[in-house]
Amino acid sequence: MAKIATVSMESDPRSKDANLAKMKAFACDAARQGAELVLFPEESLTGVGTEGMYMVCGDDKRYICEVAEHVPAGPSTQELMELAREQGIYICWGMAERDKDRSDVTYNTMVLVGPEGYVGKYRKVHLPLCERLLHYPGRDGYKVFDTSIGKVGIEICYDICFPEVARSLALQGAQIILSQTGWPNLTGKEDDPDHLVVDVFHRARANENMVVVVSSNLSGKNF
């Protein structure tokens, strides 16, 4: 059975370099503990902005456009790909991806790399609230990838609310679904009902499809 590490980390909304360094340290620590795959939260590399998903400001949009990268050609993907080869593990993270044809178009993207190199990516389809002012929705469908630990499907945050997403992944043969989240906790309390509901969604999708669902949520302010 595969050993998977999930990281709940605080992502700096204005320092991609700091986030990358933190992610590399977590990945190496997970590898030392025998993990075969390490999952990071939604947009862990580039951040979700200073205002979260309930508000948006021009500076957030400008910053995201500045730090977004092409996948897999971008430097961060190349760096994490090399780390995955060195450590012999799979690394899955979230980031802002730049469109290859338009510099002002970005996607909330989930990237998977492994010992064999680049495995694949998925662009978030369901964009809630103000997120649709920052990114464009993905149009490439739901993805399942063959890996040495089994068939892995990937989805991002709000996607988990729609049963069709997980069902599509399961019908493609997914044995494991990786779910990155940036699910908010506005009250800061452990029993915040809006925050706890995401666990209900994950359990429901796992039971409906008889697959393993592994999630990773952002931490820190508002999470």
Residues tagged active-site: 42, 124, 157
**H helix or E strand, kind and range, residue 199:** helix 193-209
**H helix or E strand, kind and range, residue 23:** helix 16-32
**Phi then psi for 206, rounded to 5 degrees?**
-65, -45
Q: Give me 52's structure tokens.
A: 């979260």
Q: Spell out the residues 6+ positions from residue 158 whose beta carbon is closer than 8 angstroms to its own.
A: 124, 126, 127, 128, 131
From residue 208, give the alpha-carbon distance in Å to each of 151, 152, 205, 212, 213: 18, 17, 5, 11, 11
| The three-state (H, E, C) secondary structure of 41-96, written as one string | CCCCCCCCCCCCCCCCCHHHHHHHHHHCECCCCCHHHHHHHHHHHHHCCEEEEEEE
